Structure 1
Amino acid sequence: MRKSILLFLFCLLRLAAQAQQVQQPEGRFGSDTIKLGELVQYTLVHRHPAAQEVVMPAANYNFSPFELVRKDFYPTSTKGGISTDSAVYTLRTFETHPTQQLALPVYVLGGQDTLEVFSPAHVVHLQQLVQNVQEPLQVKADTTLVAVEERFNWPVMLLWVVASVTFLVLVWLIFGQSIRRRYKLYRLRKDHIYFASRFNSHKDRFEKSGAAASIEKAVSLWKNYLTKMERSAVNSFTTKEIVEFYDNDEEVNTALRICDKAIYGNLQSESEGETNLALGMLRRFAKDRYRTHRELINNARNK
């Protein structure tokens, strides 16, 4: 029993000695008067020996009668063996007492003991905006409608966009192959109609004028049309290469050689009729290739 009493007295003496060594922190508000709900800053500063470990109140501390809005801690600065810790707490109050005060502690850690040292209480005065209150309170009725700004309904817009995209994806998954096939047939037919119209125009001009330039334009148009349809650089091939590309087709060979003589040799073998016949052969060959590609597209659907 005596040992327990001595141990208790020793602890009290030790705590008293530590309290004498710990300097009291300083805490004060940034303003002497505040309004209800107005933000006010409370600065807490504590100077202590550099060997001491000190902790300041965290966000879970009860700042009553104030509420914590934000806390800002600053790094410890040490000079001459004395360290300075500081923190700024942004507070607000909704209490209506005209005078309110706050004293915050610092916690000094020492082994298994923790010493709590409070700063002197600092007072702040609440500014009263309403001086006289009439009883009973009079309520003013206002039934005038207020124009409300029309706002765009983004959730509904987003819903429509998602629904539309989902619908288009489903349509593409179900009918995508058919749509691609029909589009290819449409482009193929449109290109052939354009080619046939231009080619016949050059051919008719040649029949009327006999100009070699009309033959050259017709052959160039024919090569460009086959280049796009075959997806191969036919327009850059020589006559021999074109004939080989089409498996030595006799009609293509004959027609191109007659046209080459008329263009480069300025010779129209015996008569203009032979050249005109060669242009007709090229037109017929282009139409046959159009039909072949159309059948390939249709057969792709069946597969």
Structure 2
Amino acid sequence: MFIILLCFLQAVAAWGQQTPRPEGSFSRDTARLGELLQYTLVHHHPATQEVVLPPENYSFAPFELVRKDFFPTTTKAGISTDSAVYTLRSFEIEPVQQLALPVYVLGEQDTTVVFAAADAIVLQQLVKTVQEPLQVQADTNLATVEERFNWPELVLWIAAVATFLSLIGLIFGQAIRRKYKLYRLRKDHLYFASRYNSHEDRFKKTGAMQSLEKAVSLWKNYLTKLERSAINSFTTKEIVEYYENDEEVNTALRICDKAIYGNVQTETEGETNLALGMLRRFAKSRHKTQRELIKNAKNKR
């Protein structure tokens, strides 16, 4: 009995001095090209040994590593177990592909590498036979393509138009502004003349002071816009002074003031009618003056 026990202890000691071989195997025997498959590596070793399993940067050729899953080391009765599952895939076309992964046993002086027995998978051939030459199938049906808005082209057009308008404004800007000012000046004068003549004719026919007041007020408002000055808020004296004591303006405004505020009108001489005519001619004269100033603005520059 003692001899049997001694032999058993010697066998256990001898097994502890040797490096056991790891176990590695695929989860299935066949796989398709590029299909994921799992390879499990398990190593039982004495608890006194320090073992390292292959890391992510290990060459798994002819396979590629997709993911590596570790499991905690377990120890029972002095025997430790390390394991890991490697998720692999292959794009090689060999019909049979093998893999044998090692474990690294770290010693005091050196490191021992022990490989598991090779395990193989069979590549499933989806294409059994290949005809030579290859037959190309023609498809002449038009595919519907979603229409997309060409934003880069739009930005390019906007930039081109903006550049063109900037050049036009730089070269012809002054001439365009001058033409527009002359257009507005003529339009405003035609509008004034039409309404002023209407009030003047109504006053000549009816003698209504309201028509006279509207004509004078329209005249002042028109000159206010024409001269860009608050003439419609000036008194008669201030208006005369503004126009450097112009005789027609002075005479016409005083006659109108006398007719409006003093209710005095010499019908036989028609002073009020003459006054309205003088105001109309003066407004036309100021219109011509402003028009010439705008036309000559280019020469002054």
- Which TM-score bucket, shorter chain as reference? 0.5 to 0.7
**Which structure: larger Rg?**
2
Q: Which of 268, 280, 288 is 2:265 aligned to? A: 268
Q: Which amino acid aligns with 1:154?
A: W
CA RMSD of aligned residues (A): 4.0
Task: State yes or no: 1:225 paired with 2:222.
Answer: yes
1:205: Cα distance to partner?
0.7
Task: State yes or no: 1:301 paired with 2:298.
Answer: yes
Give the number of aligned pairs: 203
For residue 281 of structure 2, what is the aligned residue in structure 1? 284
Q: Which of 239, 242, 245 is 1:242 aligned to? A: 239
Query: Partners in 2 of 1:92 and 1:277 — Cα distance?
Result: 111
Matches within 5 A, 1:79-228: 133-136=127-130, 141-228=138-225
- Kindly indicate whether the alpha-carbon contact (under 8 Å) linking 1:66 and 1:94 is maintained by their aligned counterparts in 2: no
- Kindly indicate whether the alpha-carbon contact (under 8 Å) linking 1:66 and 1:93 is maintained by their aligned counterparts in 2: yes
Q: Which runs of no fewer than 5 residues in structure 2 stay unpaired?
A: 1-33, 37-56, 68-86, 94-122
1:295: Cα distance to partner?
1.3
Q: Which runs of no fewer than 5 residues in structure 1 stay unpaired?
A: 1-35, 39-60, 69-90, 98-127
**Percent identity of paired positions between Structure 1 and Structure 2:** 68
Can you list the C-alpha shifts for 1:97-143, whole angstroms capped at 9, x where unaligned? 9xxxxxxxxxxxxxxxxxxxxxxxxxxxxxx9x99554439875433
- Kindly indicate whether the alpha-carbon contact (under 8 Å) linking 1:259 and 1:275 is maintained by their aligned counterparts in 2: yes
Q: TM-score, normalised by structure 2?
A: 0.56
Residue 131 to residue 95, structure 1, CA distance change in 2 (3 Å):
closer
Residue 262 to residue 272, structure 1, CA distance change in 2 (3 Å):
farther
1:269: Cα distance to partner?
3.3
Query: Partners in 2 of 1:94 and 1:241 — Cα distance?
Result: 102
1:259: Cα distance to partner?
1.0
Can you list the C-alpha shifts for 1:173-211, whole angstroms capped at 9, x where unaligned? 111111111111111111111111111111001111110
1:159: Cα distance to partner?
2.4
For residue 120 of structure 1, what is the aligned residue in structure 2? none
Residue 257 to residue 177, structure 1, CA distance change in 2 (3 Å):
same
Can you list the C-alpha shifts for 1:232-255, whole angstroms capped at 9, x where unaligned? 111111111111111121211111
Q: Which amino acid aligns with 2:158?
A: V
1:271: Cα distance to partner?
4.1
